[in-house]
Amino acid sequence: MKKILIIIIIFTSIGLSYGQQDAQFSNYMYNTLSFNPAYAGSRGTKSIYLSQRSQWVGLEGAPTTNALSYHSPIGSTNLGFGLSFMNDAIGPVEENLVSLDISYSINTSYDYKLAFGLRASAHMLNVDFMRLNIFNPDDVLAQNNINNRVSPNIGVGLFWYSDKSYLGLSIPNLLETRHINRNLNSSVSSVSKERLHYHFIAGYLFDLSQDIVFKPALLTKFVSGAPLQIDLSTNFQIYEKFTIGASYRLDAAVSFLGGLQLNPSWFVGYGYDLDTNSLSSFNSGSHEVFLRYEVFRTDKLKSPRFF
C-alpha cells in the first residue's frame, strides 16, 4: 500500500497532475525569500538562512527539502539582493533550484515601504523512472529518464512592510515549463508542466506587554486545478528570546513551532507537523529545522526583527 501511495505522490510532484508543486515550509514567516523576491534586503542587514525539512517521516520516498539563502540591502541604496539554493527530492524525482533576486523599495509613508522584486532562476530536474515499480516494461516513460534537465524561469513579487506588519504577493515562476517531451507521450504532455503558483502572505505584531509580542500570520497558495492552500499561524515572542506557536494548514496538517534567539545574530527554530488527512496513517509527522545568522551594524537594535 505504501508503494502505491508514494507512486501517486511522485507523479503528482513532477507535474502529471494539477497538484501543488512548489516546496512547502511550516516556518514560512522566516523563509519568505523562498517564494517572494521582493523580500530581498527587507531586513536591513545581511541575512543567511539555512533549513532542512523531512516530510512524512516513515513513508518510503517521502519529500526532503534543503534550502540555503542569502539576502542583503545594497549599500545605502533602495536596492536589495538575494541568492538562494534549494534541493527538493521525492522518490525518484530530484530538483535543484538556483535563484537570483533583485528588489527595489520606495517609502509609502513614514513607517511603510513597498518593495518590488524580480527573480531569475534555473531549475535542474532529474527523474529516475526505474526506481518505480514498472508494470509495463514497454512504457515509453520508463525508458526515458530525465537527466540534469535545466529550465530557466523568472518571477515577480511585491512586499509592503513596516516594523509591525507586512503584506506580500508573488508569483515565483512565470514560465510554465514542460517536463516531458510531447513526442514521448502525447496523452500526458498537456499537463506535464509547472503551473503558476500565486502566493499571498500577511502578518502583524501585537504588543501584549513589554515582554510578550503576539504575531498572527497567513500564507495562501493558489495553483490552477488544485485546492486553495491556507496556512494560519500564531507565534508568541517572549522576552525577545523565545518564540512558541502553532500553525494550521487547511485540510492537511497542524504544526507546532518554536524558536530561540541565541543572541542578536543567531536564531534557531524548529517545526513539527502532524497530518490531519488520510496520510497520517502512513507517516509519523514532518520535521523542519532552520538556522538564521545576521550581521548587524554597531548601532544597537531596539529588538530583533520578528519576520
CA 79 to centroid of chain Cα atoms: 23
DSSP strands (E only) in 37-173: 46-54, 64-73, 79-90, 93-107, 113-127, 146-161, 165-171
Q: Based on C-alpha coordinates, what's the Rg of the chain?
A: 20
Domains, the chain, in order of start with CATH, read 25-176+195-295 (2.40.160.40)
Residues 123 and 87: their CA atoms lie apart, in Å, by 10
- Closest among 271, 171, 257 to 221, alpha carbons compared: 171
* Listed range (42-56, 145-159, 255-269) with the worst mean pLDDT: 145-159
Which residues touch 36 (CB under 8 Å, ≥6 apart)? 117, 157, 159, 168, 169, 170, 172, 199, 201
pLDDT of residue 304: 53
Torsion region of 257: left, alpha or beta (phi above 0 gives left; psi -120 to 50 gives alpha): beta
Has residue 50 got a pLDDT over 50? yes
Evaluate if residue 139 carries a pLDDT over 70: no
Query: How many CB atoms within 10 Å of residue 239?
Result: 10
Rounded-to-integer distance, Cα 80 and Cα 77, Å: 8
For residue 268, count other CB atoms closer than 10 A to its CB: 14
DSSP E strands: which ranges in the chain?
A: 46-54, 64-73, 79-90, 93-107, 113-127, 146-161, 165-171, 197-204, 206-207, 212-223, 229-238, 242-249, 253-261, 266-275, 286-295
What percent helix, strand, coil does the chain show, rounded to 5? 10, 50, 40
What is the C-alpha separation between 162 and 166, in angstroms, rounded? 6
Asked if 40 and 117 touch (Cβ cutoff 8 Å), the reply is: yes
Tell me if 178 sits within 8 A of 154, measured CB to CB. Answer: no
Tell me the residue type at 52: Q
Chain segment 251-274, per-residue pLDDT in tens = 889 999 999 999 989 999 999 999
Pair 82, 33: CB distance under 8 Å: yes
Residue for grid cell 501511495? 5
Distance of alpha carbon 114 from alpha carbon 201, whole angstroms? 14
Nearest to 38 by CA among 98, 116, 153: 116
> pTM for this one?
0.85
Lowest mean pLDDT among 30-34, 160-164, 178-182, 187-191: 187-191
Residue range 196-255, pLDDT digits in tens: 899 999 999 999 999 999 999 999 999 877 788 999 999 999 998 999 999 999 988 999
Distance between start and end Cα atoms, the chain: 41
pLDDT band at 60 (very low <50, low <70, confident <90, very high): confident
- Distances, alpha carbon 121 to alpha carbons 26, 92, 124, 167, in Å: 23, 23, 10, 23
Query: Which pLDDT score is estimated for 305?
Result: 63
